Amino acid sequence: MNPISIRPITGVLGAEIDGIDLATPLDEHSRRAITQGFAEHSVLVFRDQSLSIQQLEAFALQLGEFGDTPFITPLDDHPHVLAVAREADEAGPLFGGSWHSDWSFQPTPPSATILYGRDVPDAGGDTLFSNQYLAYETLSDAMKQMLAGLHGVHSAKRSYGPGAVFGQPDPNAAMHIQGSEEALAKQSHPLVCTHPVTGRKLLFINDVYTIGIEGFTGPESAALLGYLLGHCRDVNFQCRVRWEPGTLTMWDNRCVQHHAINDYSGQRREMYRVTLAGERPT
């Protein structure tokens, strides 16, 4: 058995974990290292992995059940796996190219996202992550009191509604994304949630899917959300992951936002993604 090591990426978020081959079934020691490291660091990075689609699915199912993925066509015969791909000559909007937590518009958003790099640029295409525990904990006591009991309104309409960014299929895109009227639905979640594993409080909002605050007027929502969303992505809360072929990164969607950087024009990128089912935020 290779020794397992965990090296923090920054002082506030993320860690690289060595000594685990994700292509083989996890033993109890490895599973415990992953679950404990995940609770502590929220973003885990595994380098030099060689995974088939079936092995990626098998790894994910050792940690939880698959989450649901709307609006995007998955791989043939693998309904829970997305190819997050972009060809070298694509010019359309970048999937994941704004700060967000995955599918927060769902009643039970994913607990975790797992992304595996198959074909990545020589440079560029990094992913930024931001710690939403710290986003909450660094607020003033007065702001915390004001936010207690408030609920954010989440919707996919700005991304996948008719006429939205990804509302219609792009014949030149590597990914098949089809928006629909279903994206107009709204879902309410507390602005301040408690993590079901760690018990820590966090801010649960994001630029892409949080469209308002219940009971507030449009201008009131815009003013408060504008401040909070800017605060959520403070550089002091962040880590940055540089992708290499064979890198697998998993992040806690409940307490982390992420942002894909669009700086690799002229280079191809292909990743495979699964999500794990989560709980209703409370």
pLDDT digits (tens, 9 = 90+) for 135-187: 999 999 999 999 999 999 999 999 999 888 898 888 888 999 988 999 999 99
The DSSP line for 194-217 is E-TTT--EEE---TTTEEEETT--
Whole-number pLDDT of residue 93: 87
The overall average pLDDT reported for the chain is 96
Domain-by-domain residue ranges, the chain?
5-276
**Annotation: CATH topology of 5-276:** Double-stranded beta-helix (3.60.130)
Whole-number pLDDT of residue 63: 98
Give the pairing of strands 43-46 and 15-18: parallel
Q: In what order do the strands lie in the sheet with 186-190?
A: 186-190, 151-155, 210-213
Q: Looking at the annotation, which residues are catalytic?
A: 100, 102, 258, 273
Nearest alpha carbon to residue 234 among 139, 126, 125:
139
Kindly state the average pLDDT of the residues 112-120.
97
Query: Is this model's pTM higher than 0.85 or not?
Result: yes
Measured distance CA(199)–CA(135) in Å, rounded: 15
User: What are the pLDDT digits (tens) for 173-232?
Assistant: 899 998 899 999 999 999 999 999 999 999 999 999 999 999 999 999 999 999 999 999
Q: What is the largest CA-CA distance in the chain?
A: 59
Measured distance CA(237)–CA(229) in Å, rounded: 13
pLDDT band at 117 (very low <50, low <70, confident <90, very high): very high
Q: What share of the chain is helix, strand, coil (3-state, %, to 5)?
A: 20, 30, 50
